[in-house]
Amino acid sequence: MERCVREFNGKLVFIMSCSDCNTKCSHCYLTYNDNFDGSTLFRVASALSERYEVRINGSEPLMHREYLQTLAKVKQYSVMTNGLIFKNNIEYIEDIKAAGIKEIAISYHFDLHEEISSVPKEFLIELFQILIDRGLRVRINCSLSKRNFRQLREYCAFCVDHGIQKIRFTNFLNQGEARLLEKSIFLDDNDRIEFFHLIDIVRTEIPKEVLFIDRCGSFGRNHKKTNFYCGGGVNGVALAPNLKVYPCIFLVQPEYEIGFYDNGKIYIYNDFVYSNEECLALLSLNKSLG
């Protein structure tokens, strides 16, 4: 029986542009295996940008120079990378700036970095300064587990000392490569409560004009606050190279499919049930860990 659909009326579309990468991180959450070709990405993103805010996401979009025209078309402000694309290729920065990018978001995990990433820490620390000197803002994307979440104050201090304007903390999710990790590394409910307490303290200590301290919704609801919002599947969706639609970037795999792209539009299956009680990715991936 054909499933009934409705047109997506949210705000954000994250296009998961690629799955190929120049390294293999042990915490990578990607589970799909495909890439958009440059012309298809441009066509799809152009059509969607007439109605939605489109963001190009994926494993390592900057490996695909042909994606730059799409980044420019959708007026993307920031792009994520592990930084390796700039090794012996510093002038690529100017091409990225010409595409309108103002911020580079780099994966850097401090104490845990060498355990989960093969990108040298020393190279990244030098790269931060090069990017800043070239007129770009730098955001650090830092994954937190049981082994490092209590050091978040130190991580924020590092950013201030190095002129980095933003840091975004992401929760380890039991997805992709991370499913091979020891289960004891993932934050439990008590750890997340402690994390919320710590980040609130540090936010009072460092003005956001000096360092914007952000956290991913994958940590779930802070029950001391009333402003939690999981927009997965309602305000935002993720579109994969197979043109299937998923609730968020962490849930791009068949069992979480909620719709599809067709002829410039995104459709959501009517049987998709939305709940704002908790982060859908956290509920789906980590709650079974105990």
pLDDT of residue 160: 98
More confident residue, 287 or 71: 71
Across residues 174-190, what is the average pLDDT?
79
Residue 155, token pair as written in the block: 């991580």
Amino acid of residue 122: E
pLDDT in tens, 79-88: 999 999 999 9
pLDDT of residue 280: 86
pLDDT of residue 279: 85
- Residue 25 near residue 107, CB atoms below 8 Å: yes
- Residue 184 near residue 34, CB atoms below 8 Å: no
| Res. 290: pLDDT tops 60 | no
pTM comes to: 0.93
pLDDT of residue 224: 86
| Res. 32: pLDDT tops 90 | no
SS3 261: strand
More confident residue, 56 or 271: 56
| Res. 90: pLDDT tops 70 | yes
pLDDT of residue 175: 78
pLDDT of residue 117: 87
pLDDT of residue 121: 94
pLDDT in tens, 60-82: 999 999 999 999 999 999 999 99
More confident residue, 32 or 81: 81
pLDDT in tens, 200-255: 999 999 999 999 999 999 999 998 888 888 888 999 999 999 999 999 999 999 99
42-46, 154-158, 185-189: range with lowest mean pLDDT: 185-189
- Residue 26 near residue 177, CB atoms below 8 Å: yes
Confidence category of residue 289, pLDDT binned at 50, 70, 90: low
Across residues 48-61, what is the average pLDDT?
96
Least Cα distance to 45 among 3, 17, 64 occurs for 17
Mean pLDDT, the chain, as a whole number? 92
pLDDT in tens, 92-117: 999 999 999 999 999 999 998 988 88
pLDDT of residue 180: 64
Confidence category of residue 1, pLDDT binned at 50, 70, 90: low
pLDDT in tens, 159-181: 999 999 999 999 988 876 666 66
Q: What is the enclosing helix (H) or strand (E) of 6?
A: strand 5-7
- Residue 168 near residue 119, CB atoms below 8 Å: no
Which letter, b or e, does each residue of 98-133 get, where b requires 16 or more Cβ atoms within 10 Å of its Cβ?
Answer: ebebebbbbbbbbebbeebbebeeeebeebbeebbe
- Residue 240 near residue 34, CB atoms below 8 Å: yes
| Res. 34: pLDDT tops 60 | yes
pLDDT of residue 52: 97
| Domains of the chain (ranges, CATH numbers) | 5-289 (3.20.20.70)
User: What contacts 167, CB < 8 A, 6 or more positions away?
Assistant: 139, 140, 142, 155, 156, 159, 211, 212, 213, 214
